[in-house]
Each structure stands twice: as structure tokens, then as C-alpha cells.
Amino acid sequence: MPPAPRQALPGVFVTGTGTGVGKTFVGAALAALLRERDVDVGVMKPAETGVEEPTAPCYSVDAARLAAAAGVGDPPELVVPYKLRDPLAPSVAAGREGREVSVEVVMAAYHELRRRHAFLLVEGAGGIAVPFGGGVDMAGLAEAMHLPLLVVAPTGLGTINHAVLTIEYARARGLVVLGTLLNLRADPPDLAERTNPAVLARLTGLPVYGPIDELRPGPPDDQAAVEAVRSSCPAFVEALVEGKG
């Protein structure tokens, strides 16, 4: 009897080794590249913190970048169910506002977006062990969504430890990790940046993509992000298009 065909990926959960490593930069680029390939991609940022006007009835900054890249007009309450003022872990930021973050609310929004789109790109907040709410961390959220991970990490000194710990924590929680994408390349690249990709690949047994440039300083250049991700990890994008991961 022939093996059953492999089920297409429902999406990908973009996490990082910490905050400020370029998850939105990478997530928006991936959404745009999938859209280019006629993939019906939806986007979600379950909680965004550091939002200046969290009660405004619109997308927050990161969610707006993701939605624009994917070309979607889904309601803000689906794309970013929680907008919080303080730049902290979602559960902590919510507590400071006298609120609670409900995993049930997020999962209801997630399932509605899954109904609307063939593929869903979800961006976490901070790293994989950051507490989200209701006793669930980012790993627990990815597990509830049944999504594999892409780990975004900076290229330089220290990233081996941070990336390996992130991947091992995810694996211990039973999550599938598709690979690591190195970001924030220096110009010129230093010795750590030149040697880290091979070391990470050997230690984790996973593909390592990049490094790519997050263009700084200045405002985000999303088209530059698209071209950087396109040139650095075409095999990963192709795998997502084919639904193989």
C-alpha cells in the first residue's frame, strides 16, 4: 500500500532568540514572498506589546506590517487580539493594565484566520519561553496551533548559545523546528558571524539560513526585507510554498 501523501503545512510560527532580533522583518518578508507565489497567506500577531495607543481600533505597528505584506484586510481583533502598552512579556504587560490574556480568545481568532486562509504566518512576542498568559508560554501557544517554528537569531557573538537553547527548549516541548534564520549582519561581518552558521548547523542538525541584513538605521524597508530573504533562503521559501517545511 503506498504511503499517504504528506499533509501540507498549515503555517509557520516565527519565533526568536529574544526581542529585537527581526521577527517582524522576517515575517513580513516571508508573507510577501508567499503572496508572490499565489499562496493565500494570513498573518497573526497574538499579542503586541509596546503599543502607544492599545485601545485604538486599528492594527498595531508590527501587525500592520504583517498585514500589508500579506495583502489582507482581516479585522484587527483577529490579526492582533491583544495590544498592550508596556514593552514587556504579554502576561506581565496585561497584568500592569489590570487585564488578563486569554489563550481561548487567541485560539478562536486563530481558527477563524485558518478558516479564511490556506496558510497562516504567526509571529510570537520575544522568545519561545516568554510567558504569554493563562499559564502558557510562546512554546505552548505554538503547540496549541500545531505550527512548526522558524527561529530568527542575530548573527554575531553569543548567538550559538541563544539559538541552541531556544531550539532544545522547543524540541523538549515537542515542537518541530524548521531551521534558523540569521539576521542583523554587520558590515563587514566579524569572525563570529563567519563561523556561526556552520557551528549552528552542526550542533542542531537543522538548516541555517542567511545571514541577512536588517537595514538600519532608519525606518523599516519592507521591499529590502523581501529581497534579503529571497536571496538568502530560497529553499526555505520554496518548501513553504510546496507545503513541506
State the catalytic residues: 45
d(CA 137, CA 143): 10
Residue type, 222: D
Say if CB 183 and CB 210 are below 8 A apart: yes
Q: How many CA atoms lie within 13 A of 189 on its CB side?
A: 18
Checking phi first, is residue 53 left (phi over 0); if not, alpha (psi -120 to 50) or beta? beta
| 3-class SS of residue 4 | coil
* DSSP 3-state percent helix, strand, coil across the chain (nearest 5): 45, 20, 40
Instruction: Output the CA–CA distances (angstroms, integers) from residue 151 to 92, 130, 242, in the order listed.
Output: 23, 14, 20
Quote the cell numbers at residue 226: 523581501
Torsion sign over Cα 158, 163, 168, 173: positive
